[in-house]
Amino acid sequence: MTGNTGWASFAGRVATDAVEGIDVLAEPERLATGTWFVVADFEAGSGTPSGGRARAWRFAHVHDAGAPPATTPPATTWHGPPHDAWTSSMDRATYEAAVGQVREHVREGDVYQANVCRVLSAPLMGPPGAEPDARALAARLAAGNPAPHAAAVHVPAATGLDPVWVVSASPELYLSVRDEPGTGTVVESGPIKGTARTPDGLTEKDRAENVMITDLVRNDLQTVCRPGTVEVTSLLAVEEHPGLVHLVSRVRGTLSDDVASSGALWRRLLDGTFPPGSVSGAPKSSALRIIGELEPVPRGPYCGAVGWVADGEASLAVGIRTFWWADGVLRFGTGAGITWGSDPAAEWHETELKAERLVALASEPR
């Protein structure tokens, strides 16, 4: 795209013209002022992103999505890969075998649940001398699959900054941070576990899975919150999204004073809560080890986090239903939470359900 100097969008904010980027773990204090758009990669081998990447970019112009400046060029038309060009990092037999291995780990007492994912990929080159227009894909997803935590961050390599290309139709809140007068700095998470085409398709396995992960998220927040303030405010709510439904719970707490006032606030938050429990498993350390053994390719931004941090407040989504592009390849991740009650064929079909609508939107018509 001619003249692309970077673009980002999330939670009603749109940014243009990237001017600097930082390593969040190396310089967490930089997030204390201004507006930054953040992308954290999922790192299976570690309970924090310290072995991977957590990055943020500041843009020269940030404005409300309802009032874009006249200087913002319109998005181009999205041209995706052919529908039959997608390949999977695990075929059905390999994925179902991985489900069986997780069940064996559950039987041995190593883990209660582990989220096993596969990555779909298709070749996709941008226009000559440019990269694909992330805004064009974001617009197509917004029209065909609106999502409460949709996000996009695109900083081209031509800017000279650390490049990134992520477009997400995430339905899941990883963390929100906000000041509440009389309470303090409140942090909230909305874990999703349990997916079906209709509410009638949700099972007891889905409900048990959600309760396990909600408890894990509660424990994660307790590492950064004042004792006695962490609470589950909603459990097993059914949310409808295009083509499917989810079970969603809500957990919140008040940050402890030493965390809220620290220049290393985001280092502390990521150390305590990343990667998100819904896309790792329980216990988290064991689940991450098992994921690292079973998944043949890295997840990258998929299952990580994407969103914004602005002057002490933040809204970050779990990077699910997420596309990312690099080196001429468009990628999309899909997965399922595996427990003792999992049926390998059913879990494979869940990964298909989560992918089918979005991959179709990102592909050229059949």
Tokens matching residue 113: 């649940």
- pLDDT at site 130: 80
CA nearest 120: which of 313, 315, 356, 336?
Answer: 356
- pLDDT at site 39: 97
Report yes or no on 24 lying in a domain.
yes
The mean pLDDT values, 10 residues at a time, for the chain of 366 residues are 79 94 93 93 63 88 71 74 96 98 98 97 84 94 96 96 97 97 96 96 95 97 97 98 96 96 89 95 94 95 96 94 96 97 97 97 90
Within 8 A by CB and 6+ apart from 137, the residues are 78, 80, 152, 167, 323, 362
Q: What is the CATH number of the domain that holds 134?
A: 3.60.120.10
Report yes or no on 168 lying in a domain.
yes
- pLDDT at site 365: 81
For the chain, what is the domain count?
1
- pLDDT at site 96: 98
Beta strands in 124-260 (DSSP E): 149-155, 164-170, 173-180, 184-190, 192-196, 231-241, 244-254
pLDDT tens profile 198-244: 999 999 999 999 999 999 999 999 999 999 999 999 999 999 999 99
Report yes or no on 26 lying in a domain.
yes
The torsion region of residue 61 among left (phi > 0), alpha (psi -120 to 50) and beta comes to: beta
**Domain membership of residue 158 as a residue range:** 7-362
CA-to-CA dists, residue 259 to 186, 253, 255, angstroms: 11, 12, 6
- pLDDT at site 23: 95
Report yes or no on 349 lying in a domain.
yes
Report yes or no on 2 lying in a domain.
no
Tokens matching residue 65: 């999505």
Report yes or no on 1 lying in a domain.
no
> Burial level of 64, CB count in 10 A (0-12/13-18/19+)?
exposed
